[in-house]
Structure 1
Amino acid sequence: MSRRAAVATGGHDVADAFVQGQVETLVIDTDAAAESELAPKDRAGLSIAVLEDLAAGVFRECCFSGCGYRLCRSTRAEADSRGVDMTGNRLLAVVTGASSGIGFELARQLALNGYGLVIAAEDKGIEEAAVELRTAGDGTVPVEAVRVDLATAEGVQRLHTALATRAVHVAILNAGVGWGGAFVETELAAELKMIDLNVSSTVHLTKLLLRDMVADDEGRILITSSIASTMPGSFQAVYNATKSFLQSFAEALQEELEDSNVVVTSLMPGPTETNFFHRARMDATPVGQAGKDDPAEVARQGLAALMAGKDRQVAASLKTRAQELAAKMTPDKVKAAMHRKLAEPEE
């Protein structure tokens, strides 16, 4: 049975499939002459469960006509954007790299929408972030902070264990760092750890979470890629490569999950006003000193794209979007030279 639409002349099986979310729109033909003589629960064999859900507001509309009526389920996106499931229960979101910057703002957006949160980061700021997030929205949002090093397999497993048996409906895989400088001069250990955090932890956590989402045929994953994924990163060689991996990874999953209700969206920010460039030792670079996007706006656009089921979101400014468009038409060698002008430390 199609999950998008179904037409029937009655039967509990179709109605129940609608209630269970196997179909999103159900059109049921009725006998117009007898319609006024039937109790609502009897019309076309509709199950009582449909009527109960209609009363509970699960369905967006019930339109009667001369030959029948049409029930339209409130879409998953509408329910997800409110942080509740189709029956009003609070949903759970996990956010990595949530102690500051884009990750914190993504967590705050989710809290404002009523999601329960499990947030993770390596630094002690994750506890302070949890305190602030608990006051977001109506002040009733449960927030659990997990201080863990996701650059290690043990750290990823610890976070997954902290989730216990709870179903994760939204996963924001945002943890990541940068490292600038000429490749022959940068620290190998720092770059290998960056690969472990940016790439390995994302793959590991996605593997753990996605299996359950696919089994349940619902869930949303946002992977923080970058506009940097679209170009060779001279003087950020390893960082840009990690983001190119994540972009490719997200796009491959989108194709594999095409026939499911699971959504994977990549968020591609440009330079954003966070601690990223300072931590990457890029303060003395043109890009480090240039104006940057607002992390709250980046997060707002990213979460909106996730809830809308979009494949990607380039955020947040017109400048960043123009850069992504230009990258599609510019040879890699030219892009590498352009990146050098932005990322090479000034004398």
Structure 2
Amino acid sequence: MSVLIRHYKPGGIYNTKIWRFASTTAESTKQTNGEDEEEFRVLDILKKKDRFQRKVARKTEVPPDRTDKMRTDQSWGNVWPGPRSFQPSSVPLPIRQGYVPKGQAPPGKKANAELMKIPNFLHLTPPVIKTQCEAIKKFCTEWPKLLNSEEAIEKHYPLEVITSDYCHASPTIRNPLSRVVILRIKLSDLKLDTHARDKFLRLIDDRYNQETDLVTITADRCPVRQQNLDYVNYLLTACYHESWGYEDWEGEKTLEDMEYYDFDLNQSKKNLINWHLQCNNERQTLSDNDYKSFDVSSIPNATEYKDAVCSLFNDAESEHTLKKYDASVRKLLGLPEKKILT
């Protein structure tokens, strides 16, 4: 069957189409004048299509965990040789981690993302550490026999550097506190004269502990530990060399300008020397240079008297400094100790 369709447009015929439809469901092709005329394909909903055989899903056999086949006498270093993410099938331990409401047990080790977030130390067991130490022992040198005490170590290695390492759960293994470097050294281990010592203490300010005689310098302003280590070494070196410098204006300094009491530069030393000479019936006229070069340690109990006088002026007057001064004067003059009545 054929249908003629015409589309009209003002002024004439615009387009013409001929649509043909099949007249029967049995035919799909006709022969006209010895030629094949193609017809539209007919949809036959009654025709049975070939049925495809449904595929049967195959079940994959999951092998048992490695923990079920582990021997109790195996070498753990072969199972967990180095640092890596947590693998529940290789750890024969009932590990649990995670937060759950009260009354419930934390999640187990299987399919537990919390156990995979943090680094672990399962590879650092005592037998593995012992084996690794034995392997690297051939690259180590023997500990010096002379460094057999803390006193010997402080004598030969007076400089002490303190750093800290941290292990924490974070996207990065670098802890901000690990960059802090602390340098410590005793002031007595630095070769300083009176002028250099006084200037060095002024440069380091409150970094000196008078009770322990330790100079402590801390650096944390740089992002990396090595940079802070270089910085503290630079600070110590700069302060040491700067303390030995002598400016022109320092020569104009008088005793009235001194911030502390110096026994060797004051009249107390001259009085002590004159008293000692009079007691020994020695009448000498000493110059200023002779007074400065005179060693008061040659006078019995003079060193204790010197310390007591300096403590009285520098540490302010107190019950302790007065008792110390009283005891030193009695020893110097050969007087008996003061008796306390109870």
Shorter-chain TM-score range = under 0.3
Structure with the bigger RCO (C-alpha within 8 Å, sep 6+) is 1
TM-score (norm 1): 0.20
Q: Which structure has the highest helix share of the two?
A: 1
Q: Which structure has the highest strand share of the two?
A: 1
